[in-house]
Amino acid sequence: MAGGEKQTLTPKEIIHQKFGVKASYRIEEVHVSSKSARCLYRCHLQLPEFSVVSNVFMKKNDSEQSAAELALEKLGIQPWDVDDDITVEEAWDDIVERIKYIFSDEFLSADHPLGAHLRATLQRDGERCEAVPVSVIAAFDAKINSRCKVINPSVDSDPILAMSYVVKAAAKLSDYIVVSPHVASLRRKNPYPPEIVGALATHGESRKVEALYIQCTSGGEELVQVVDPITLDISSSRYYMDIIAEKLGLKDGSQVMISRASGKTSSGYECRVYSAIPKLNPSDKSSKAYGKRPIDETSHFKKSWNAKASLVCGQEIHGDAIMASVYYPWRSRDLEHDDVTLKLFYRICCIMSPNGIYKIFRKAFIGAHLPSLFTTKSNWRGPFPREILCMFCQQQQLSEPIFTISTASVKSLSDILRSHQKLKDTESEDTDHGYLSREKEDTPGLEHGYRCEVKILSKSQDLVFECSLRKFYEKENYAIQNASLNALSWFSGFFDNLDAEPLQPGYEDEVLEGLFEQKIWMKEILPSSRMYERPTAIRNRDSYNSRSAKKLRGRKHVRSIANGSLVSLCYSVSLKVDADISRNGEPLEELLESHEEIEFEVGNGSMNQQLELVVTQMSVGQYVCFGTDSPTQDLILAAATDTARTLSLFSELAAGLEYRVHLLGVKGPTEKRMEAAFFKPPLSEQRVEYALKHIKESSASTLVDFGCGSGSLLHSLLDYPTSLQTIIGVDISQKRLALAAKMLPSKLEKGACNLKSVILYEGSILEFDSRLHDIDIGTCLEVIEHMEEDQAFQFGETVLSLFRPKHVIVSTPNYEYNRILHKSLPNQPKDNSMSHRSKFRNHDHKFEWTRAQFNQWASKLAKRHNYSVEFSGVGGFSKVDPGFATQIAVFRRQSFSAVEKVAEGSMQPYKVVWEWKKGNGDKKE
């Protein structure tokens, strides 16, 4: 690069050059608070083989560039040389040339972060004038950083290693650069020309910057890490690195080591951790001169290891450290800064684990937990497990997860049920949504399921983690999401027990078979680390909080809200001290977290255990207040708004949490979810297949589907050859009829059936329309339970006395089967009581009948209107209690029954919303 800086493309331009329209950017707005209209932006970049998610930024373009940069990193492409595949020797040459250019007259005035650092060092005195800390060059020059990674990928987690490469490369420029290894700085041999220095003189304003001092002191045998707010007085006449060094008790900025970016402030500015460079061994002339520790200093390093500082930046930190957001940005000559608060620090600590990532997305650090089960897309709240796992790997400097899908034969549930004759006396096994039972040996004709294996590699492509699900899932996506969630749960457990004994590399349980190479992972994150120290839990006296919690845990609980239900609640949680314990005799309280409305699924572990336990015993509209013990101080401070007041409350030994909860609403487990967890194919498909069989046998030419909804039955009729010439759908919902009208034309255009016309009517099936009189067959699948019971009787009378079809097929849920379906959901309470309305299969159901009730309803109708009726169903067996899951009545009009003629044009309340006639296309009203 002799003479000048090489022109490069932006990361986004490189992505476009490589992928063109195959690269898809999606911008997500991230609101700072519910009370503010201001929002930040996060970018999701989807490429053909993987996706990345940026951090949050104030500008959309910055989030796109960040996502593109992350994608390039995963692809191993550097913006400096898009098409180059350089060798280690070429990387060394590039570092040498880059250092030479950095200290050129031209670069001094460049709008580059290092150019600003160079200009700032001109204000230093004596030998320090024009001397740039090696740590600054290694941290802030992307070209040098990328070339160091070519030499050794571990550079990313070891700043001292990168510094050693800079010093070694600079030593080759002895006629141009003065290398000071003992003070870790570089400067030009010949000073910059006075006229250039004079032209670049700046006089900025002094400013005060809030930062954090992470103290590491020895408390006997244990290390004590204390995090306190401090103020950095950044003077316009001093280099800010020297000011930070002064706070750390160091001579100047050349003795300060800089971490990689360790999170961002609410304004999107980067935070970094600054600490003393460990004692060096300059006599070692290898490429790892910096960072190799004398044997006699090993114990010193173990005693000075700063666990909290190391945790937030993912690099090894020893001794005291400062976390600050102060830096020179691109294309600007002004020093930028933002305040770093205790709340930000503890949030960064928290989101190092998958559990914390989930908490911050739900904006509920105290209330939310990473769920233990992935159920359905519609029930899941927050980012999906796969997305969280990708974010976790990115954050931990690991490669993108690799998912491998395998398929295998699984036996259909109807086959399995035949071997379980004692259904009513046995407990259903807990299963995840979509889980399919698997036979040990494949059998011809069995359906297929999906199983997923996930691998996570280090940046140097060493295996860190591998797991394979034992279960099979009906959909590929469910397998991927559950594999991701199990991997996340494993890592969350690791972070929750960082002071425990090293984990065994191989493990096996009922869910997973896996391998975890802890040494490789910790080597990537912290090259010579020991385990992070686990945060110390707050001690509590037997205050009202802990007494309440013990009383709560000791009671016998009757769960009134079923697992799988979606619960909506308003809650607040406060840190509180008893009045008789507080210093002034008044209750002390600090609000930590509140939600005007938050929704979660019961039973998958997505909320605080005590909170969920109380909520599942409440009634809608009820208000409850209860107390529990406090979680760790770190978690409390991550949620707290006023950290100073919160810390003062922790000085009171009776600190605990008080919850105030208002239950807003409950939606029971979806019918589809319960059925899909137990039936393959789902009951909805089995019902349609049953109807199709009777339609074919009837040789009917006209059919009306009463309560057709979005047309699932009508749509299925177009897939099979039948005798039908006219099909009609009736529904009261315009929205559902519009969906039916949207999806029917595509199949009708293919001409795969003998139909001559299709009509969709908007209207109530409780009303009679003379145009549908004396049809061949009528269907009403899973409709009557959405009415009130008296309306269901009215519908039966209207259909059999006025519409008078030759055949009528009516299906409805069998209430007695619900106890089995509810048990098919994960972790359902062993409660056979069916007295609660929440036990219905759908929150919209007004009633559900037993077999006796359904039999009585259908038999009376048939007898009164001269129809015969026979009973059947799908899901289960008629002779095995509790019968079919879906009960079906088939009415047949007696052949000798006379049908009165209805005057043409009379009683036509239905409105045609869509009509298709063969050869004329579709017509919309």
pLDDT tens sequence across 427-445: 333 333 333 333 333 333 3
pLDDT of 297 over the 70 cut: no
Query: Quick one: pLDDT at residue 500?
Result: 45
pLDDT tens sequence across 651-677: 665 568 899 999 998 876 666 666 666
Query: Quick one: pLDDT at residue 299?
Result: 44
Q: Are residues 868 and 725 in the same domain?
A: yes
Query: Quick one: pLDDT at residue 769?
Result: 94
| Widest CA span in the chain | 117
Q: Are residues 68 and 208 in the same domain?
A: no
- Residue 471 included in any domain: no
- CATH of residue 21: 3.30.160.20
- CATH of residue 861: 3.40.50.150
pLDDT band (50, 70, 90) for residue 62: confident
Question: Which residues are CB-neighbours of 389 under 8 A, at least 6 positions away?
Answer: 354, 401, 454, 484, 487, 488
3-state secondary structure of 491: helix
- The span from the CA of 98 to the CA of 114, in Å, is 12
pLDDT band (50, 70, 90) for residue 526: very low
pLDDT of 469 over the 70 cut: yes
- The span from the CA of 704 to the CA of 727, in Å, is 6
Using an 8 Å Cβ cutoff, are 400 and 393 in contact? yes
Query: Quick one: pLDDT at residue 573?
Result: 92
Q: Are residues 743 and 890 in the same domain?
A: yes
- The span from the CA of 812 to the CA of 808, in Å, is 13
- The span from the CA of 543 to the CA of 577, in Å, is 8
Tokens of 53: 């998610």
Query: Quick one: pLDDT at residue 478?
Result: 86
The terminus-to-terminus CA distance of the chain in angstroms comes to 71
- Residue 261 included in any domain: yes
- Residue 730 included in any domain: yes
Q: Are residues 61 and 209 in the same domain?
A: no
Q: Where in 390-431 does DSSP place strands (E)?
A: 402-410
Query: Quick one: pLDDT at residue 432?
Result: 39
| 357, containing H or E segment | helix 354-362
Query: Quick one: pLDDT at residue 69?
Result: 85
3-state secondary structure of 456: strand
What mean pLDDT comes out for the span 852-857? Answer: 96
- The span from the CA of 180 to the CA of 134, in Å, is 9
Rg value, the chain, Cα: 35
- The span from the CA of 171 to the CA of 181, in Å, is 10
Using an 8 Å Cβ cutoff, are 925 and 914 in contact? yes
- DSSP string over 509-551: -SSEEEEE-HHHHHHHHSTT--PPPPPPPPP--S-HHHHHHHH
HEC secondary structure over 79-125: CCCCCCCCCHHHHHHHHHHHHHHHCCHHHHCCCCHHHHHHHHHCCCC
Query: Quick one: pLDDT at residue 267?
Result: 78
Q: From residue 592, how far is each of 353, 437, 628, 648, 824 by CA, in Å?
A: 21, 45, 14, 14, 37
**Number of structural domains in the chain:** 3
3-state secondary structure of 779: strand
Q: How high does pLDDT run on average in the chain?
A: 78
Q: Which of 21, 44, 75 is the last residue of a domain?
A: 75
Q: Which of 35, 55, 75 is the last residue of a domain?
A: 75
Using an 8 Å Cβ cutoff, are 147 and 180 in contact? no
Q: From residue 218, how far is each of 257, 304, 747 by CA, in Å?
A: 22, 8, 75
What mean pLDDT comes out for the span 19-32? Answer: 82
pLDDT tens sequence across 811-831: 999 999 887 776 654 444 444
Q: Are residues 730 and 877 in the same domain?
A: yes
| 860, containing H or E segment | helix 851-864
Q: Which domain holds residue 46?
A: 11-75
Q: From residue 105, how far is each of 46, 190, 197 by CA, in Å?
A: 42, 11, 10
Q: Which of 32, 54, 75 is the last residue of a domain?
A: 75
Query: Quick one: pLDDT at residue 630?
Result: 80
Share of residues in the chain with pLDDT > 90 (%): 29
pLDDT band (50, 70, 90) for residue 446: very low
Query: Quick one: pLDDT at residue 911?
Result: 94
Q: From residue 23, how far is each of 51, 70, 886 by CA, in Å?
A: 10, 13, 47
- The span from the CA of 183 to the CA of 128, in Å, is 10
Q: Quote the distance between the C-alpha of residue 534 and its chain's center.
A: 25
Tokens of 310: 């190391």
Predicted structure pTM score: 0.64
Query: Quick one: pLDDT at residue 507?
Result: 45
How many helical (H) and strand (E) elements, i.e. helices and strands, does the chain have?
29, 32
- Residue 723 included in any domain: yes
Query: Quick one: pLDDT at residue 38?
Result: 57
Tokens of 682: 């789902």
- Residue 646 included in any domain: no
Using an 8 Å Cβ cutoff, are 163 and 135 in contact? yes
Q: Where in 814-910 does DSSP place strands (E)?
A: 867-876, 884-893
Tokens of 295: 């044997």
pLDDT tens sequence across 404-433: 988 865 444 444 444 443 333 333 333 333
- The span from the CA of 240 to the CA of 245, in Å, is 9
Q: Who wins on pLDDT, 739 or 80?
A: 739
Q: Are residues 724 and 861 in the same domain?
A: yes
- The span from the CA of 601 to the CA of 599, in Å, is 7
pLDDT band (50, 70, 90) for residue 282: very low
- Residue 538 included in any domain: no
Residue where the block lists tokens 């034992």: 470
DSSP 849: B
Question: Which residues are CB-neighbours of 583 under 8 A, at least 6 positions away?
Answer: 652
Tokens of 554: 């000791």
Using an 8 Å Cβ cutoff, are 517 and 504 in contact? no
3-state secondary structure of 671: helix
- Residue 38 included in any domain: yes
Q: From residue 72, how far is each of 45, 68, 150 by CA, in Å?
A: 11, 6, 15
Tokens of 571: 């809650």
Helix-helix angle 88-102:159-170, to 10 degrees: 80
pLDDT tens sequence across 866-901: 999 999 999 888 778 889 999 999 999 987 555 666
- Residue 117 included in any domain: no
